[in-house]
Structure 1
Amino acid sequence: MAVTIPETMPKKATAGETLLFRTLKRYLTEEYVVYYEPDIQGWRPDFVIIGPELGLLVLEVKDYTRSTLVELNPDQWTIRNGAGEEVTVVSPLKQARDYAFRIADKLKRDRDLVQTEGKHRSKLKFPFGYGVVFTRLTKADLAREELLAVVDPKLTLTREEIDPEREAFSEILLRQKLSRMFTVSFSLKEPLRPLDIQRIRFHLFPEVRIGGKVTKKVSYQDYVLLSLDDLETMDLHQESLAKQIGDKHRLIRGVAGSGKTLILASRAAILAREHPDWEILILCYNISLSRFIHDMVEQKWSQSGDGLDDEGEGERCYSADGRKQITVRHFHEWLHRDLKITEEEIPQAVEEWEAGKRMLPRYDAILIDEGQDFAPEWLGLASRLLNPDTQSLLIVEDRAQTIYPRRRSLRKDTGLDFRGRSRVLTINYRNTGPVVQLAWEFYQAHASPENKPSTGEDVEVITPQSTLRSGPPPYLKRFASLTDEMAYVARQMKVLHRQRETAWSDMLVLYRVKRYDGVDTMGVIQQALSREGIPFYWLTENHRSKRAFAPRENGVTISTIDSSKGLDFEAVFVVNLERLPFPMEENKEREVSLLYIAMTRAKKYLSLTWSGESEFTRWLEQAERTAVKQ
C-alpha cells in the first residue's frame, strides 16, 4: 500500500480524484509516495507520484464526460461546464507537462540529483513524466471523440484502467501504464535511494525541512548546482499529519522527540498559505517554548519560496495585505495582550461574551502545543473562540511530560469529539538510542501505576517504540561538590566546542532550583562558565529574559527544567541532580516528569551529575553500575 499525502482525501475532492487516490494507495507498493494537490511553490498539480523504480510522475485528473467536450486542439480545449456554458481551458496534457518540466528544472539545482556524465549529462538522474486521467471516459470514448488526435494514448489513463470494479482493470497493467508515461525516459541504473527521495521532498516542499545547508555552489552549463549537506526532513507520516488540510479538529499524541511541535508549526504555515484570509492562533504553556515556536513558524513561512539563497527575511507570518495572520502566544500572554483579562476572569469573560456584552477575538484555526499542561477551562475558552464553521483545532501532547496535574475530558472541555480523529507518534527522532533507553527506563521505574503505559484504546502514556539515531551513552557521575561538578561540565563544553565543533548555542545547562539549603546553584554555574570564557544566556533569570529568548543566539543556554519543555539541544548538562525530587514538592509525579523531560532535551550528548544524594541519584548510580557490568 502506497504512502499518501494527505492520508485521506478532503471533502472538496471530486469523485474521480477520490477513485484514483484509492486505487493508487491500494495497488502501489509502500515504497511509493502519492501526493494529492501538493503545493509546490504555488503550483498545484492534481497528483505527484514518486517511486524508487519509477521516478517522478505528474498526473492531471479530469472528470469530463463525452458531452463535456466541444472543440479540442493540443494546447487549448473548449469544454461545456456544469452551468452549460462553453469555456476555454488549457489542455490537461499540456498542463501536466508544464508542471512536470517546472518541477524538473527546480530539482536540477541539486548536484546530487543530476547526471554529470554520459549521454544524459545535465539531466536528472531519474526519469520524470506526466499524463492525464479521464475518470469518466473509456478507451472507446477516446477514439469516438477523436481525442487520440490531440492526446497520446500512452499518456492517458481511462476509467477501466483505474477502477478496480471494472472487469478490464489490472494491477499489473496499471503499473505498466504509469511506468510508460515518460517522454523524457531512460532506465534507472539503480532505484532511487531513500536519500534521493528525501532530497526531492526537501526541494519541492520547504515546509518539511528541518535542517540542511548549502556547502558549495558550482556553475554547470545553464545551472548553478548546489551541494547540500546535513539534510533533515520530516518523515512521511509527520508530513501527512501536517498536510491534513481542512480536516477540522485533530489530536496528536506522541513521545518526546517525535516531532509534535514541528508538525504543529508546519501545519500552521500550510493553513496560512491555503487560507490567506484565516486568523490563526498558536498557544503553548511556557514563554520560552512560545519564542521557539514563533521562530520555527517564521522559518517555515519564509521557506514558502526556495529558501536556499538566504536572501531576505521572508514574510514573517504576515498576509499580503500586511495583516498578521499567525499569532504565537503562551497562554497567559494571550490572556493579557489579546483578551485583556486575567486567568481568574475567564468565567466572567466567557459569560459576558456569550451574552453579547464583551468582544473577544475569533480564530479560524487554533493550534495548542503541550496540551497536557492546559487546564480544562483554558481549553474551553480557546474552543469557544474557534470559528464553528472551520473547527480547525489541533492539540498535540505527551502525557509522560505532564508537570501540572490536570483533570480533564477533551470532549467535555472543547465540545469536540476526538474519537477517530487522533494520531499517535511512537518514533523518537530527537534522541539517540542510549538517551531514550535511560530516560524511558527511569520513567517506568518511578511513574505511578496510573501514569504507566497501558495497552488499552485510551492509552494515556505512549511507549517509545524505536529511535533512528545512535550515539554515546549518557554520562552519569557523582562529584564531591557542585563546584567540582560545574568545573567538569565547563571542561566538557570546551571539548565539544573545539573537537566536535558543537556550537555554544547548541548546549543547554538545566537545574531544578537556583538556590536551596544554602547552595547558590546559579552562582556556581555562572562562575564556572565565566572562568572558562564560555558565553551564556540565563533564560530563566526573569520574565524579561524569557521573552527575549532567541533560540539561535550564540551562547550556552541556562534554564530550569520547566522552561526547557519543547526545546532541544545537541548537548544537555543536567546538574545538581540531588535536588530531584525536590524536597518541598509534594507531587512526586511532577518530579518524575521533570527529569524525563530534562533527559529527552538532548539530541546527542547527555550529562547527568550530582554531588548529593536523592532517590533519583541512587537509581542513576545503580543504572550506571548495571551498564558497566554489561
Structure 2
Amino acid sequence: MDDRLISPPLSQLQKLRQPLTAGERAVFQLFHRYLSKDWEIYLQPHLNGLRPDFVLLNPHGGIAVFEVKDWDLRAMRYFTKPGRYGPELWAERHGEEFSIQNQNPIPKVNLYKKEIFDLYCPRLQERAGWAAITAGVIFPFANTGDVKRLLSSFQQAQDRDEFEKYQPITGMDEISSGNLEAVFPESKRTGSRLMTADHASDLRGWLVEPDFSSTQRTPLVLDRNQLSLAESRTESGYRRIKGPAGSGKSLVLAARAARLANEGKCVLVATFNITLWHYLRDLIVRGLDAPEKFRNVRFTHFHLWCKHVCHDAGWDKEYENLWSNDPRGQRDALNYALPLLAEKAVALADFERHDAILVDEGQDYLPMWWNVLRKACKPGGEMLLVADATQDVYGTASSWTDEAMKGAGFGGRWAQLATSYRLPPEALRLARTFAETFLPKDAIDLPEAEQGSLDLYPCRLRWVQCSPDTASTVCSNEIQSLMRQTGKRLANADITLLTGDMTSGVDVVTRLEEEYKIYTVNTFGSDHRRRKMGFYMGDAKIKATTLHSFKGWESRLLVIYVPHAAHAQSLALVYAGLTRLKRSQEGSWLTVVSSAPELHEFGRSFPDYADGAAAIVT
C-alpha cells in the first residue's frame, strides 16, 4: 500500500495547518487499510476554497467526497425542526435550543458533489456523470442508527435504496468493524463507463499541485517597477495598479499572491471571468517556495464568492429566492440584490476573513462589489485592484469615478505600468492605432514598446473582410491555413479561435469538426459555464472561446472573428482581442476575420489584407 498516492504525504500529516480530528484519523486508517491502491486519498484538500474532509479518486472507478463529524450524539440533544424552507438541524444544551443548520453535513457534501461535477470535472457526461461521484457522511463516534434517524429528513425520499448507494450515511459501527463496503459502497468498483483518466486529471489539478511544464516551473521574471509593487505594500494596505494590455498587471498580482502565500497568509484572488483562473494559477505557482503553499490561495469570481458566503451563513434558500425568469430581474439580482445579501452574511461574527484580497481585471467590477469584498478582508490586511479601462468590455469602468475611488479606500495616485512585454512591436503599433481611432480618448491607456529592445519577435498580421454568411467558412479556412504554415515550429494546439459571440463560435467549430474532423476544446453551447472550467491551454486540441472569456490570456497563434463593432463595448472587446497576441522569437500569427463594416478601413492597414471572396478559396 506504500505506493498509493496520498496528499498530503503520510510524513506530513502531523504538520497539517488544521490537525486531523480523532474521527478523521480513524476514517483515514479505514480508507488506507482497505481501499485498493488504485484509489488516491486526499485529506482536507483545498478544492478551491471548499474544504471537504476527504476526497477519494480512482481514474477508473470514480470519485468520492466525505464529510466527517466527530459529534457524540449523547453529549447534547440533536433534533430537526421545521424551518422556513424545510427541515433544519438544531441542538439543545442546558435547556437552550439553537440552530446548527450551517453545520449540517448533508448540504455540505451535496455542495461538494455539485461543484466537483459543475466546475472541477467539466468533461463528465452532463447527466449520467452525476453517478460517478459518491457523497458520504461519517459519524465515527455515534451509533449508525441514531445518525440515520437524525439525518433522514435531509435525504431524498424517492428511490432511497439507490440514492443511499451514492450518499451513504454511516457511524461507529462501520468504522470500528472496518466495514468499508458500507462506508463507501462504490469502493469495489474497478471500472466505469463514466470515469476516465482525463476526468481524474481535471479534478486532480484542484486537489494537489499539478506537475507543470518547464516553462511554468520557471520563476517569475519581473522588471524593477513590477518587482517593487509585488514585494511591498502601502501603509493602508490598499493599492490600485493600472496599465495597458501586456504590461504585467496580472504578473504583479500573481507575484504578490505568491509572496503572501509563502508567508502563510490566506489569499483570495477574485476575477470576473472563470477561464482566467487557470492562467493566474499557473503564474502564482511559479512564485511559490513550495507546492503546498498553494493551499493558501483561493480563486473565485465575485458571484460565486457571494454564493459561497450565503451557503456558509446557511442562507441557501434566500440565495435561491433571488432569481427570477425575467432577464432584467436576473441582472438586478447579480448586480445589486446578491451583493447586498452577501454583505449581510459577511457581517456575521463567525465569518472567515482573508489576509489579502486581490482583484484582477478590476474594470469589470462595480464599485459596490469591491466594497462588499473589502468587508471580507481582515483588519490590517491587503486589498489590491488592477485594471485597464481601455478594455472596458462591460461598460463598468466609468463607474470608477474619483469619488467612487475615495469611497473604496484608495488615496493618492494609481501605480502605473506602461511597457508592454506581450505584444510583438508591429502588433503593438496596430493596437495603439485601433485604440486611438475607435476608443474614448479619456479612457485609453496605450501600451508602450520596450525601450532599447531589438525587434526579435517576428509576426504575421492578416485581416480578412467578409460577409456574415461566409464567416464560418472563412474562419475554418484561416485556421487550416495556420495549421499548414506552422509546420514543425509550432503545434496545432497553439491555435486559438476567438469570436465575438457564442453563436458564431458554434458555427465555426461545428464546421471544423463535421467537415474537417478538426476537434476543438471550446466554451460554446448551453453548458458553456462547465466548458469554461475545462478550458486549458495545455489541451492537445485547437482552442475556441469568446473574446470575453479570453481577456487576460495570451497566445502566439490567434484567429479572431469580429461579427460587429457598433458600440463602445464591442470596440473595446476588439481591442482586447488584438492585444492577446503573445510575442515569441519563434514567431507569432494574428488573423482577424471581420464582417463589421465599421472596421473595414482599419483592416486595410494590416500588412496582409484580403477580401472574403478570395479567402473562401482553399
User: Given the two structures, how large is their TM-score scaled by the length of structure 1?
Assistant: 0.52
> 1:463: how far off?
4.7
1:290-348 deviation per Cα after TM superposition (whole angstroms, max 9, x unaligned) = 232233323433xx25xxxxxxxx32612xxxxxx211111112111244356423224
Q: Which has the larger radius of gyration?
A: 1
Q: 1:499 aligns with which of 479, 488, 507?
A: 488
Contact 1:293/1:328 (<8 A) preserved: no
Partner of 1:610: 593
Partner of 2:387: 397
> 1:590: how far off?
0.5
Partner of 1:383: 374
Q: 1:295 aligns with which of 271, 282, 289?
A: 282
CA 1:414/1:295 → structure 2, altered by over 3 Å: closer, same or farther?
farther
- How many angstroms apart in 1 are the aligned matches of 2:351 and 2:406? 17
The alignment partner of 2:556 has SS state of: strand
> 1:550: how far off?
2.5
> 1:490: how far off?
2.6
Partner of 2:400: 408
The alignment partner of 1:291 has SS state of: helix
Partner of 1:600: 579
Q: Provide the aligned length of Structure 1 versus Structure 2.
A: 363
The amino acid that maps onto 1:599 is L
> 1:432: how far off?
0.3
The amino acid that maps onto 2:442 is E
Partner of 1:329: 300
> 1:429: how far off?
0.6
> 1:365: how far off?
0.4
The yes-or-no answer on 1:443 pairing with 2:432 is no
The yes-or-no answer on 1:539 pairing with 2:523 is yes
The alignment partner of 1:508 has SS state of: strand
CA 1:401/1:491 → structure 2, altered by over 3 Å: closer, same or farther?
same
CA 1:353/1:426 → structure 2, altered by over 3 Å: closer, same or farther?
closer
CA 1:240/1:489 → structure 2, altered by over 3 Å: closer, same or farther?
same
> 1:534: how far off?
3.8
The alignment partner of 1:545 has SS state of: helix
Contact 2:219/2:287 (<8 A) preserved: no
Q: 1:569 aligns with which of 555, 559, 564?
A: 555
- How many angstroms apart in 2 are the aligned matches of 1:414 and 1:569? 37
- How many angstroms apart in 2 are the aligned matches of 1:503 and 1:435? 22
1:444-502 deviation per Cα after TM superposition (whole angstroms, max 9, x unaligned) = 101134334xxxxxxxx3453547553224111235732541343232332344232x2
Unaligned runs of 5+ in 2: 1-211, 312-318, 320-332, 611-618
1:211-259 deviation per Cα after TM superposition (whole angstroms, max 9, x unaligned) = 9669xxxxxxxxxxxxx9x998222322222111575221111110111
User: How do 1:68-87 residues align onto structure 2 when only pairs under 5 Å count?
Assistant: none
1:231-290 deviation per Cα after TM superposition (whole angstroms, max 9, x unaligned) = 98222322222111575221111110111111111110101112x1x3210001001112
User: Given the two structures, how large is their TM-score scaled by the length of structure 2?
Assistant: 0.53
> 1:536: how far off?
1.6
Contact 1:435/1:606 (<8 A) preserved: no
Q: 1:509 aligns with which of 486, 494, 497?
A: 497
Partner of 1:591: 570
Contact 2:356/2:383 (<8 A) preserved: yes
The alignment partner of 2:377 has SS state of: coil
CA 1:565/1:471 → structure 2, altered by over 3 Å: closer, same or farther?
same
Partner of 1:235: 223
Contact 1:486/1:524 (<8 A) preserved: yes
Contact 2:358/2:385 (<8 A) preserved: yes
The yes-or-no answer on 1:366 pairing with 2:357 is yes
> 1:509: how far off?
0.3
CA 1:612/1:271 → structure 2, altered by over 3 Å: closer, same or farther?
closer
1:500-553 deviation per Cα after TM superposition (whole angstroms, max 9, x unaligned) = 2x23332210111233xxxx6523333236655544201244111012222322
Partner of 1:559: 545
- How many angstroms apart in 2 are the aligned matches of 1:487 and 1:424? 40
CA 1:257/1:385 → structure 2, altered by over 3 Å: closer, same or farther?
same
The alignment partner of 2:393 has SS state of: coil
Identity %: 23
User: How do 1:36-75 residues align onto structure 2 when only pairs under 5 Å count?
Assistant: none
The alignment partner of 1:428 has SS state of: coil
Partner of 1:523: 507
1:192-215 deviation per Cα after TM superposition (whole angstroms, max 9, x unaligned) = xxxxxxxxxxxxxxxxxx99669x
CA 1:279/1:532 → structure 2, altered by over 3 Å: closer, same or farther?
same
Contact 1:379/1:413 (<8 A) preserved: no
1:338-377 deviation per Cα after TM superposition (whole angstroms, max 9, x unaligned) = 44356423224435654x5x75431110100000110111
CA 1:421/1:270 → structure 2, altered by over 3 Å: closer, same or farther?
farther
CA 1:352/1:555 → structure 2, altered by over 3 Å: closer, same or farther?
closer
- How many angstroms apart in 1 are the aligned matches of 2:549 and 2:346? 33
CA 1:399/1:300 → structure 2, altered by over 3 Å: closer, same or farther?
same
User: How do 1:248-287 residues align onto structure 2 when only pairs under 5 Å count?
Assistant: 248-274=237-263, 276=264, 278-287=265-274
Unaligned runs of 5+ in 1: 1-209, 215-227, 306-313, 319-324, 453-460, 583-587
Q: Looking at secondary structure, tell me which structure has more helix per residue.
A: 2
The alignment partner of 1:574 has SS state of: strand
Partner of 2:292: 315
- How many angstroms apart in 2 are the aligned matches of 1:443 and 1:384? 36
1:87-135 deviation per Cα after TM superposition (whole angstroms, max 9, x unaligned) = xxxxxxxxxxxxxxxxxxxxxxxxxxxxxxxxxxxxxxxxxxxxxxxxx
CA 1:538/1:237 → structure 2, altered by over 3 Å: closer, same or farther?
same
Partner of 1:346: 339
- How many angstroms apart in 1 are the aligned matches of 2:224 and 2:367? 33
- How many angstroms apart in 2 are the aligned matches of 1:213 and 1:365? 27
- How many angstroms apart in 2 are the aligned matches of 1:246 and 1:471? 40
The alignment partner of 1:364 has SS state of: strand
Q: 1:431 aligns with which of 423, 433, 441?
A: 423
The alignment partner of 2:379 has SS state of: coil
Contact 2:425/2:449 (<8 A) preserved: no
The amino acid that maps onto 2:579 is T
Aligned-CA RMSD value:
3.2
Contact 1:249/1:416 (<8 A) preserved: no
